[in-house]
Amino acid sequence: MSAPAPMEFIRDDEIFVRMTRTERWQHLLLVASFTVLLATGLPVLFGYGGGHAWRGVLHRLAALALIGDFGWHVVFDFLTERGRRDLRDMRPRGRDLRDVLAHFRLRGPRPEFGRFGVAEKLEYWSFLWGSALMIATGLLMWFPGLSLRSFPLALHQTFIIIHGFEAVLALLAILLWHMYTVHLKPGVFPMSRVWLDGRITGADMKRFHPLEYRRIWEGRERLAGELLASEAVRTSSARPGTPDAPANPDRPSSVAGDDSAAASDGPKGPNETE
Ligand code: HEM
């Protein structure tokens, strides 16, 4: 007799939610405002200042959109369960440093990542402090009277330099780092669709987030084991002749509703990647 096929707790084509609708809207607003800010700010930095009167107005309107998006994101992070979980998963940990060393083949085998890898964490925290810096320096440039009343002229001029340099740094980070790690890397090229539909397949999770994949797999495996054990107890205590026995002993007592959450079929809709 051949051995039973091993249970498949995550199918390759199963769909998981990696970015919720709210997160996708926040990201879209960031992409739009950041693009306009670059297009209307960089010409000033490279000596084509002034330009059309609308340039400055557009820069300020996009700045308001970025400030709104940033505020929305911070509130979402602290006030919603999903946001708090994102923050927890983004927290730097000791193993991140070990992963960096392993990544450059300095120590141990190639690292495996969970929901967020080191590159994603670095990018996220750079986005947060970079946006805060651009907002603070931008507001001080927008209201120079306030800035000059509060700080010496040399410091005000430093804010302008920081604003310009950080803009170039952010542009390079997006073009070289973000585009490569999210869209252009092998297995994803030419583009990840997560920012559009929020979905990731079981196969991609296995490849790019193996620790998260394993955690979900083991959770389902444990659940299936518990269900089978409780089912075994129930059937053995409900034999024919005992008060709990079903009217027809040939009919298996059903746990289908519970089982379907754990077995290979998986839930019908996309799952949170939890
Ligand atoms: C990440 C987003 C941003 C980028 C990439 C960006 C880029 C730039 C650049 C390159 C300059 C020219 C700097 C120079 O004169 O040397 C500039 C100027 C300026 N920025 Fe931004 N900026 C951003 C966000 C903001 C924000 C959030 C505000 C306001 C809250 C702001 C307000 C200003 C103002 C008032 C100027 C002065 C020139 C003008 O009137 O357009 N910027 N920005």
Does residue 93 surpass a pLDDT of 90? yes
pLDDT per residue as tens digits for the range 176-227: 999 999 999 999 999 999 999 999 999 999 999 999 999 999 999 999 999 9
Q: Which of 30, 42, 163, 174 to mutate to test the pocket of ligand 1 (most atoms within 8 A of CB)?
A: 163
Using the mean position of ligand 1's atoms as its centre, give its distance from the Cα of residue 160 in Å: 8
CATH fold of 20-197:
Fumarate Reductase Cytochrome B subunit (1.20.950)
pLDDT of residue 256: 31
Q: Where are the domains of the chain?
A: 20-197
Strands of 271-272's sheet in order across: 199-201, 15-17, 271-272
Confidence of residue 241 (pLDDT cuts 50, 70, 90): low
Amino acid identity of residue 56, one-letter, is: G
CA of 135, closest atom in ligand 1: 27
Distance 236 CA to ligand 1 centre (A): 73
Is 262 close to ligand 1, i.e. is its CB under 6 Å away?
A: no
Q: For ligand 1, say whether the CB of 41 is within 6 Å of any of its atoms.
A: yes
The alpha carbon of 9 and the centre of ligand 1 are apart by a number of angstroms equal to 50
Residue 105 has pLDDT above 50, yes or no: yes
Q: Which of 31-35, 151-155, 191-195, 262-266 has the lowest mean pLDDT?
A: 262-266
Instruction: Identify the band that residue 60 occupies on the pLDDT scale cut at 50, 70 and 90.
Output: very high
Say how many residues make up the chain: 274
45 lines ligand 1 (CB under 6 A): yes
Residue located nearest, by CA, to atom 40 of ligand 1: 56
| 220 in contact with ligand 1, CB cutoff 6 A | no
Q: How far is the CA of 269 from the centre of ligand 1 (A)?
A: 43
Asked if residue 66 has its Cβ within 6 Å of ligand 1, the reply is yes
Question: pLDDT at residue 91 above 90?
Answer: yes
Predicted local distance difference test score (pLDDT) of residue 223: 95
pLDDT of residue 273: 55
Q: What is the CA radius of gyration of the chain?
A: 26
Q: How confident is the model at residue 235 (pLDDT cuts 50, 70, 90)?
A: confident
The chain-wide mean pLDDT, for the chain, equals 87
Q: Average pLDDT, stretch 236-249?
A: 55
- Per-residue pLDDT, averaged over 130-142, amounts to 98
